[in-house]
Amino acid sequence: MPCSVHGKVPETLGRFTMGGNVENWRTGGPGDHGLKLIDECQRGTPTAELIHKAIAHFELPAIPAKSHIACRHKRWGGSYVLTFEIAAYLALQFEAGELSIWNHPDHIKRRLEDRDSAAKMKEHPGAFLFVRNDRDLLVSGDGRFLDDSRDNLWQLYMHGQAVSELAKLIIGRLDA
């Protein structure tokens, strides 16, 4: 599968066809059905067993040499979801006009580039802009407050702070 950020598959391994044939393109090529599972399919062999045989035929290592989990956009997924949850929590607490929350890149790009030295990074986690009483606070998707403080929502959350407390922190900063 290609990475949604990097966009390409580094190596094509082959395919497991609908008909039950397996092509390992590192040892053969397209059309080279090195493993024919069609008879097993017709006998009703469970799909899990067929897939196990196909993966074994691909000679894939049990532990990949490079895990896609290491990509920053995967690692930051949890912190972005937390920041989104806090934003949703705040949106439900205030009437229209009392608090504005922005996170679309088109709306926050200029401010993000002005305040975050990592803004042009390929896998930047995005940000949320909170605006209240003519004050604003920009929070990166990885939890960093992009102001003069060193606060980080993700770190505070990992130390036991509840979403409601983190929301109060944002409002407190905007109301200060």
Mean pLDDT of 71-80: 68
Q: How high is the mean pLDDT of the chain? A: 82
pLDDT digit string, tens, across residues 80-93: 889 999 999 999 99
pLDDT class for 77, splitting at 50, 70, 90?
confident
pLDDT class for 10, splitting at 50, 70, 90?
low
pLDDT given for residue 157 in this prediction: 94
Residue 11, number of CB atoms within 10 A of its CB: 6
- The amino acid sitting at 8 is K
Mean pLDDT of 1-14: 65
Mean pLDDT of 39-63: 82
Residue pair 20/37 in contact (Cβ under 8 Å)? The answer is yes
Q: Between 37 and 65, where is the model more confident?
A: 37
Residue 138 has pLDDT above 80, yes or no: yes
- Whether the model clears a pTM of 0.75, i.e. scores above it, the answer is no
Q: Residue length, the chain?
A: 176
Beta strands in the chain (DSSP E): 14-16, 21-24, 35-36, 100-102, 127-132, 135-140
Q: Between 74 and 164, where is the model more confident?
A: 164
